[in-house]
Chain A
Amino acid sequence: MRPTLPSWESLNTGDMLPPLELPPITRLALALYCGASGDHNPIHVDSDFAHAAGMPDVFAHGMLSAAWLGRLLTNWVPQSAIRSLDVRFVAITHVGERITCTGKVAEKFEQGGKRCVHLQLATANQDGMTKLAGEALVAWP
């Protein structure tokens, strides 16, 4: 389970990280994330509130998907190798959607004597629609 750093030499631009596939999003998952994250915004868990706000239903916290992108990374490398993670919330993630997290080696370079890779990250639903776009920097010790 515990990841070891892949060999930097063997990586190539365009290489994909092992994807992280999530089960369909349930209301229970949103309730658990509400409690665990401390984000108690009712728009994610209270359908009455969501309707009153003009939304058809509750929807997932963007930061839940960001946490999944974090898992994508820590499944691939030890956390200490992650130098940065940046995400952009592109579209709403809905209840029932099956999200897949992907990562791609966008660039491989050396900086200040450190071997690094720049990753492009995304989450998308079962139809391939992008929900989050992001990037990360991983550095080898």
Chain B
Amino acid sequence: MIDRRHIGHTMPPFSVEVEKGRLRFFAKATGQDDPVYIDEASAQAAGHPGLPVPPTFLFCLEMESPNAAAIRELLGMDYRSLLHGEEGFSYHKIAYAGDTLTFEQRIADIYDKKDGALEFVVRKTRVTNQRHELVAELRCVTVQRTMTTQGSDAG
């Protein structure tokens, strides 16, 4: 049973630089052929100051945390029993290559279903840019199954 006293716990904030080359690599890996996400001139022609961070890449940048396992370790979760259940993004301002984004993670909720066979951890992350403008809020639901079955990761 994950200790419910961790509900509300905030993690130390961390900052990540958005690299242009990484955005192009992500475009290649996701089959993105829209030049706005690859070519700076096209991005600028579309009214962007630089290459935009596409909608789900904020989740990848969040994984650049100095210790991506910090919450798992705090909660004593075994990664072999974890599933990525849900991911949500609420957008306020587009981030761009060259921005430095700060991630503030909070354990928003912990609850269980099926008499504790499934436990849910809801992490909420506030993302701001170097001008302290709110870029997005992320919501990640991780599901821990009891260790009666072998673990995997649907996500």
Chain A contact residues, CB within 8 Å of chain B: 1-2, 22-23, 29, 32-33, 35-39, 41, 43-44, 53-55, 59, 61-64, 66-71, 73-75, 78-80, 82-89, 91-92
User: Per a CB cutoff under 8 Å, which of B36, B57, B84, B139 touches A62?
Assistant: B84
Main secondary structure, interface of B, reads mixed
From B6-14, B70-78, B104-112, B146-154, give the one contacting chain A: B146-154
The answer, yes or no, to whether B30 is at the interface (CB within 8 Å) is yes
Chain B contact residues, CB within 8 Å of chain A: 22, 25-26, 28-37, 42, 45-46, 52, 54-57, 59-60, 63-64, 80, 83-91, 94, 139, 150-155
CB-defined contacts of B83 to chain A, threshold 8 Å? 89
Q: What's the nearest-Cβ distance from chain B to residue A109, in Å?
A: 17
* A33–B63 alpha-carbon span in the complex (Å): 14
Is A1 a contact partner of B150 (Cβ separation < 8 A)?
no
* A1–B38 alpha-carbon span in the complex (Å): 13
* A41–B36 alpha-carbon span in the complex (Å): 29
List 6 A–B pairs whose Cβ atoms lie within 8 Å, in order of A's numbering.
A1-B36, A2-B42, A82-B55, A86-B88, A86-B89, A87-B88
Is A22 a contact partner of B54 (Cβ separation < 8 A)?
no
Q: What's the nearest-Cβ distance from chain B to residue A104, in Å?
A: 18
Is B88 a contact partner of A37 (Cβ separation < 8 A)?
no
Please give me the residue from chain B that is nearest to A139 by CB atom. B91
Is B88 a contact partner of A67 (Cβ separation < 8 A)?
no
Is A36 a contact partner of B26 (Cβ separation < 8 A)?
yes
Is B28 a contact partner of A66 (Cβ separation < 8 A)?
no
Is B29 a contact partner of A29 (Cβ separation < 8 A)?
yes
Supplied contacts A36-B60, A53-B80, A63-B84, 4 more A-B pairs, CB within 8 Å? A54-B152, A63-B155, A74-B54, A85-B55
Which of B32, B45, B83 has the most chain A CB within a 10 Å cutoff? B32
